[in-house]
Structure 1
Amino acid sequence: MNGKGSGGSGRGGGRYRNPCLTMHQPWASLLIHGIKRIEGRSWPAPLTGRLWIHAASKVPEPDTIKAMEKFYREIYAVDGVTDIKFPEHYPVSRLLGCVEIVGCLRSEELDGWEEVPQSVRLEAFPGFCWLCEKPQKLIVPFEMRGYQGVYNLENKIYEAAVRGLTAIKSPLPVKFPLPDPQNSLSLKPGSLMSSSSKASEVEKSKSVSAAIAGARAAATQFARKDETRSAIKEQKRETTKNQATPVADIPNRKTYNLRSKGRIQEENQAVNSEEKLMCVIEKTKTRIVVPHGSTKLIFKKKHEKV
């Protein structure tokens, strides 16, 4: 719940060296601070191992932060945890740190996984749940640009970031009991569907239910605003495109004289010379021959300069 983008292709073509995911705030910081342990997506995790987390450029609204902090206070209280230190700031356009992706489940599988704390199961939103452990944050977040999906960090950014990590203590650290591939009887979340109905019936107080509803509303509203913003941008692009009429299609279009100033002055001088020539002809009443561009008047009996 709630990242940036809706696809898993990203930059890197499936070959991830130092994979990174751009997420909106406040979800990005909540994940890096170990408060958020499940990253919900509409697509399954394309990897396991270290995943760098980058905060998108949109500044979170105070109501969104308030709703998400209330959500985590309420679900942690179900497990008896009341001391939660939320981030003091929710920076944007920054590389924040990293987590370990240890697995991926569908929300209904996580909802029925009794071997994990109830607060973790309450984080299960519809879609795919990326299981996150071992959060580490950067002492000094790096300013950088993000992309959609999972993409590779630039080498120079990775080399600088990996030296500036510090471990974070989660309010309730979780070690997901993943199945042992060498033991066919080990726990498999997918096999827990038979007990999912029981697990789903965890008693929820009114405050927990309200917090869950508020968190979902915040995520949904956030997504809708992004969709609306994208639609407005697309409409502006179409309007600009339609207004761009070709020059040939515009009637009575004004034209401009592109001749240089010197050329115009020369042409004006030529016009003045012709006018003077006509005056001389009128006065002398004599037949003359005027070569083009000549500065002299050629008469039968005498020469006279203009």
Structure 2
Amino acid sequence: MKALSIRQPWAWLIIHGGKDIENRSWHTKFRGRFLVHAAQSMTRLEYNYVAGHGETIGFLEDAGINVTLPAFEDLQRGGIIGSVELLDSLNDCSSPWYMGDKGFWLRRPMALPFTPFKGRLGFFEVPDELVTP
């Protein structure tokens, strides 16, 4: 199955926080369900940017989105955390999660048991037997 490595806390937000856009600088022709791989690295600066004060996503409150992140040390990294369906690759979008040049429009996230796995750039293959839906 295809997978995409996404840095935390963004990966967690796709699976648990209603994030329906994955911002990218490139388009993809791929459509369908893929595994969300939480990248190994995450800086405190990245976490704080999203968490704001009190671990609430402050920059999305105006859009009516109120999500509380797990603590920095509780975000799983370096493995598969779930799957999501990619509907389209967009140049523009009205979603409050859209912040880039391009974005992958996502829906129907599904959490999976954490499976350690080394990530790669772009979409990559993960053996089906490593991930139980």
Matched, 1:53 2:26: no
Q: Distance in 1 between the 2:65 and 2:125 partners?
A: 36
Q: Distance in 2 between the 1:144 and 1:133 partners?
A: 23
Matched, 1:30 2:4: no
1:81-107 CA-partner distances (Å, limit 9, x unpaired): 44x23234211111100111111210x
Aligned to 1:124: 98
1:39 to 4, 7, 22: 22
After superposition, residues 171-186 of structure 1 pair within 5 angstroms as: none
Residue 21 of structure 1: SS of its match in structure 2? strand
Gaps of 5+ in 2: none
Aligned to 1:232: none
Aligned to 1:68: 50
Please identify the structure whose Cα radius of gyration is greater: 1
1:108-133 CA-partner distances (Å, limit 9, x unpaired): x31xx4xxxxxx2x322232111111
1:9-54 CA-partner distances (Å, limit 9, x unpaired): xxxxxxxxx1100112222112111332210111112311111111
Q: Distance in 1 between the 2:111 and 2:24 partners?
A: 22
Task: Give the letter for the 1:150 counterpart.
Answer: F
Aligned to 1:20: 3
1:145 to 118, 128, 133: 118
Q: Cα distance, 1:68 vs. partner?
A: 1.0
1:163-218 CA-partner distances (Å, limit 9, x unpaired): xxxxxxxxxxxxxxxxxxxxxxxxxxxxxxxxxxxxxxxxxxxxxxxxxxxxxxxx
Q: Structure 2 vs 1, CA of residues 103 and 67 (structure 1 numbering), >3 Å: closer, same or farther?
A: same
Preserved contact between residue 30 and residue 87 of structure 1 (Cα < 8 Å): no
Q: Scaled by the length of structure 2, what TM-score is found?
A: 0.83
Aligned to 2:81: 96
Which structure has more RCO (C-alpha within 8 Å, separation ≥ 6)? 2
CA root-mean-square deviation: 2.0
Higher helix share: 1
Size of the aligned set, in residue pairs, is 128
After superposition, residues 220-231 of structure 1 pair within 5 angstroms as: none
Q: Distance in 1 between the 2:25 and 2:65 partners?
A: 29
Matched, 1:155 2:113: no
Gaps of 5+ in 1: 1-17, 114-119, 163-306
1:259-281 CA-partner distances (Å, limit 9, x unpaired): xxxxxxxxxxxxxxxxxxxxxxx
Preserved contact between residue 57 and residue 68 of structure 2 (Cα < 8 Å): no
Q: Cα distance, 1:155 vs. partner?
A: 2.5
Preserved contact between residue 25 and residue 90 of structure 1 (Cα < 8 Å): yes
Higher strand share: 2
Preserved contact between residue 35 and residue 72 of structure 1 (Cα < 8 Å): no
After superposition, residues 205-284 of structure 1 pair within 5 angstroms as: none
Aligned to 1:79: 63
Q: Distance in 1 between the 2:44 and 2:100 partners?
A: 25
Q: Distance in 2 between the 1:36 and 1:81 partners?
A: 10
Residue 67 of structure 1: SS of its match in structure 2? helix
Preserved contact between residue 95 and residue 142 of structure 1 (Cα < 8 Å): yes
